[in-house]
């Protein structure tokens, strides 16, 4: 049988590990012609006995001249833009291409052939994952009691997965969504010891239940990921957004102080910056609440802002996937709309890193989300990735911006600055002012809720979010 000729893009640790795996297990199927790598000092030299033929700009020419059949992409620390460039060259030359995904064990050099797979949209949009200082995480979380709210959600569940690997004394996964929590429990069994975690069904709105849980479990660190997040729905139900995002956060903050929690990390969003939506306004209020509570006792509170995460529940990527499978149309709100994107594992790695930078408490951190991407381009990219042609095989329908949405999201307001931290992807927001009496705003929201006064709720939210619009 004739062997297939292949190139490996990336001569780093992952590429070398992959080459070793191929030689060991698939030597009768593949001939590795060479590496392609952008490190100029190794071009023309041999790495692990394999020659580095050139940089990625020459990939198309190298494929053609060497009659390559397959290209394996082994650059887990690369930006999505570089991977998109590599795919473009491969498509032009009509060669098969596969990828070593961006997951932490691969970034650290543990590459297995079973992990190599077809390209997914996350590969083309996600940004580089840098090997984090896992030793510091272990020092922070080992033998600690860590509680995660919203544990069954996209971010909360990943926080649980990652923290459990650092051998906490106990991980407490809290959520009111019992089906999701049940699924998470089955997953966590494969990561940690059965007695190393506990799944608790509870609603953060229930202050008595929260106090009871906190006083009985005595968590030392809390990651607060529970929130209502869907912008259009919360425009229609501002009272529910306030109950959950504002008063749920207030309940947790108060219970944390009462139970002697050492650190409270509030997971926020770019939609809390100069919010035009109810959801954004309530998340801004959550930031203000934890900042206010920070000055009261020994508990240190902070918030971490970031944008969209790829593949999270209700996000645009899984929606587009379903629409493409059905044959279209793919629904895009506006041709000009842009969003920041980050993979869930990378976002959580950076949230954990940001939690290490808390000093006095009250900090608001912002994750570097890279360059924003047009949603229209994302839709077309996903259609092409499915082997179809945008506008021909799959139509794109433009529906217009929904109530409360912005064309562009920001990670800091015009009045805020940013300071660098020891992690180049995490910034400390400076110039954050609590201009309003948070307690008075909360009291006003409480009165409006008791009166079931929807207009009153919106009017009070506008005190902290003047740009709030489109509430029916």
User: Which residues are designated catalytic?
Assistant: 271
**Helix (H) or strand (E) run with residue 171 in it:** strand 170-175
Evaluate the CA torsion angle 328, 334, 336, 339 in order and state its sign. negative
Distance CA 332, CA 399 (A): 6
The alpha carbons of the chain give a radius of gyration, in whole angstroms, of 24
Say if residues 220 and 355 touch (Cβ distance below 8 Å). no
* Class of residue 190 by CB neighbours under 10 A (exposed 0-12, middle 13-18, buried 19+): exposed
φ, ψ for residue 416 (rounded to 5)? -105, 145
Say if residues 312 and 95 touch (Cβ distance below 8 Å). no
* Class of residue 471 by CB neighbours under 10 A (exposed 0-12, middle 13-18, buried 19+): buried
**β-sheet with 221-224: strand ranges across:** 197-201, 170-175, 145-149, 221-224, 263-267, 300-305, 363-367, 426-430, 417-420
Distance CA 391, CA 209 (A): 53
Distance CA 203, CA 240 (A): 13
C-alpha dihedral over 223, 227, 231, 236, to 10 degrees?
-160
Evaluate the CA torsion angle 411, 339, 459, 440 in order and state its sign. negative
φ, ψ for residue 364 (rounded to 5)? -120, 120
Nearest partner of 297 among 249, 263, 246, judged by Cα: 263
Pairing relationship of beta strands 46-47 and 50-54 according to DSSP bridges? antiparallel
Quick one: DSSP state of residue 130? P
Distance CA 291, CA 437 (A): 12
Say if residues 95 and 71 touch (Cβ distance below 8 Å). yes
Say if residues 360 and 301 touch (Cβ distance below 8 Å). no
Say if residues 278 and 468 touch (Cβ distance below 8 Å). yes
């Amino acid at each position: 049988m004739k062997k297939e000729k292949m190139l490996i893009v990336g001569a780093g640790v992952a590429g070398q590990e992959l080459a070793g795996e191929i030689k060991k297990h698939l030597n009768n199927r593949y001939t590795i012609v060479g590496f392609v790598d952008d490190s100029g000092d190794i071009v023309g030299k041999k790495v692990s006995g394999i020659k580095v033929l050139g940089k990625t700009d020459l990939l198309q020419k190298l494929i053609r001249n060497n009659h390559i059949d397959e290209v394996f992409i082994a650059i887990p620390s690369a930006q999505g833009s570089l991977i998109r460039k590599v795919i473009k060259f491969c498509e032009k030359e009509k060669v098969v291409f596969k990828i070593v995904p961006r997951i932490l064990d691969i970034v650290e050099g543990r590459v297995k052939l079973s992990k190599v797979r077809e390209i997914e949209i996350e590969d083309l949009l996600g940004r580089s994952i840098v090997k984090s200082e896992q030793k510091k995480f272990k020092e922070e979380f080992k033998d600690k009691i860590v509680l995660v709210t919203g544990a069954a959600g996209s971010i909360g569940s990943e926080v649980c997965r990652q923290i459990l690997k650092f051998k906490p004394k106990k991980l407490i996964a809290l959520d009111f969504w019992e089906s999701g929590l049940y699924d998470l429990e089955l997953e966590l069994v494969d990561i940690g010891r059965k007695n190393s975690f506990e799944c608790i069904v509870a609603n953060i709105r229930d202050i008595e239940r929260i106090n009871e849980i906190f006083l009985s479990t005595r968590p030392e660190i809390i990651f607060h990921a529970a929130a209502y997040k869907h912008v259009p729905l919360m425009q229609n139900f501002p009272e529910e957004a306030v109950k959950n995002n504002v008063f749920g956060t207030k309940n947790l903050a108060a219970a944390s102080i009462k139970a002697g929690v050492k650190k409270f990390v509030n997971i926020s969003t770019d939609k809390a910056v100069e919010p035009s939506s109810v959801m954004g306004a309530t998340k801004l209020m959550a930031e203000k609440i934890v900042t206010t509570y920070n000055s009261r006792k020994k508990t240190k509170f902070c918030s971490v802002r970031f944008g969209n995460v790829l593949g999270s529940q209700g996000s645009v990527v899984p929606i587009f996937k379903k629409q493409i499978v059905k044959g279209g149309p793919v629904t895009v709100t506006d041709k000009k709309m842009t969003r920041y994107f980050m993979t869930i594992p990378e976002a959580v790695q950076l949230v954990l890193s940001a939690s290490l930078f808390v000093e006095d408490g009250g900090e608001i951190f912002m994750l570097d989300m890279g360059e924003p991407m047009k949603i229209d381009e994302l839709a077309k990219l996903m259609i092409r990735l499915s082997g179809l042609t945008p506008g021909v095989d799959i139509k794109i329908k433009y529906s217009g911006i929904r109530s409360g949405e912005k064309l562009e999201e920001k990670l800091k307001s015009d009045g805020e600055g940013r300071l660098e931290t020891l992690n180049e992807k995490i910034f400390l927001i400076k110039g954050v002012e609590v201009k309003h009496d948070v307690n008075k705003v909360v009291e006003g929201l409480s009165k409006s809720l008791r009166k079931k006064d929807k207009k009153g709720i919106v009017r009070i939210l506008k005190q902290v979010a003047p740009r709030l619009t489109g509430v029916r």
